Amino acid sequence: MSNPTYFEALKWASLFVQKSDLEEAATRFLLLERYDWRETDLLVRYQEVMSDAVWHQYQADVQAYVDGMPPQYVIGTAPFYGRTFQVNEAVLIPRPETEELVEWVLTDQQDKANLTILDVGTGSGAIGVTLQTERPDWQVTLSDISEAALQVAETNASQLGADVELLQGDLLEPVQGRQFDVVVSNPPYISHKEEDLMDQSVLAHEPKLALFAEHDGLLIYERLAAAIQQAVIQVTELYLEIGFQQASAVKTLFETTFPTAEVVVRKDMEQNDRMVRIRFERMHDK
């Protein structure tokens, strides 16, 4: 039997993943990302017959997806803020909500030059690398407790031309005693109670260290608040991604810990509360 055209291969893949109730859109993603194509690159090849190598690779990629591996890990890349980041099972797959967190920082700080930025729990480096490449005048530090994650972040920084500092350690420990204009973090915030509600591919492949936190998912926020209160570092503004049901608890935590700080919750494009900004200027002016 001869190899299919690209159009026929996509049709086969769509029917194949439908049997497992999976997303048909992933079948296009696997082709586009594997060969770094745009939609038009695929369209002009629709009636072209796949080579043996491409057909065998595509079948293997689709099978891996059906077997439960997220398509970004199958290919080894994920798009984020207009760039392509390397990913593997040592880091979370960057998601659109986190792009909105980055956009909030860039918009708020657009008129400020030479800022010092810390991305805590950087994972793939998506936040910190994006901020530095968008604003090359900013001095950006990436930290993570995971050596494997930092290796991914270092690869992404190198490939995307980001001039960043990378430090390994737990939370703020590797930057103790330093001062930052902005600290930003997408920390682990999922409660273990929510495991039964999560996609099995996430549980099976994404790093639990970067997903889950004790105290109903609030532990890292509590530790950050305590560390900043104890002046482990000096920081002017803190931006955090949060779970969509955590806004009240996180807002109360920081307002209680820092009575003079301004705490603002922001919704994502789906109108869920997904980000918090804490401004400490008045606290440090006391």
Distances in whole angstroms, Cα of residue 265 to Cα of each of 32, 51, 273: 36, 51, 7
pTM of the shown model: 0.91
Parts of the chain with a pLDDT under 70:
1, 189, 191-198, 201-206, 208-213, 282-286
* Gap between the Cα atoms of 250 and 240, Å rounded: 10
Task: Please tell me the predicted confidence (pLDDT) of residue 282.
Answer: 46
Is 124 labelled a binding residue? yes
Task: Please tell me the predicted confidence (pLDDT) of residue 245.
Answer: 87
Asked if 31 and 42 touch (Cβ cutoff 8 Å), the reply is yes
27: Cβ contacts below 8 Å, ≥ 6 apart:
10, 13, 14, 17, 62, 65
* Separation of first and last alpha carbons in the chain: 78
Is 188 labelled a binding residue? yes
Task: Please tell me the predicted confidence (pLDDT) of residue 283.
Answer: 40
Six-digit token string for 14: 């769509």
Is 187 labelled a binding residue? yes
Is 14 labelled a binding residue? no
Asked if 153 and 218 touch (Cβ cutoff 8 Å), the reply is no
Task: Give the strand pairing for 83-86 and 116-120.
Answer: unpaired
Is 123 labelled a binding residue? yes
Task: Please tell me the predicted confidence (pLDDT) of residue 201.
Answer: 66
Sheet holding 179-185, edge to edge: 164-168, 139-144, 116-120, 179-185, 234-241, 273-279, 262-267
The backbone torsions φ and ψ at residue 181, rounded to the nearest 5 degrees and listed phi first, read -70, -40
Distances in whole angstroms, Cα of residue 224 to Cα of each of 43, 111, 121, 281: 48, 27, 12, 17
* Gap between the Cα atoms of 248 and 166, Å rounded: 32
Task: Please tell me the predicted confidence (pLDDT) of residue 195.
Answer: 66
99: Cβ contacts below 8 Å, ≥ 6 apart:
80, 81
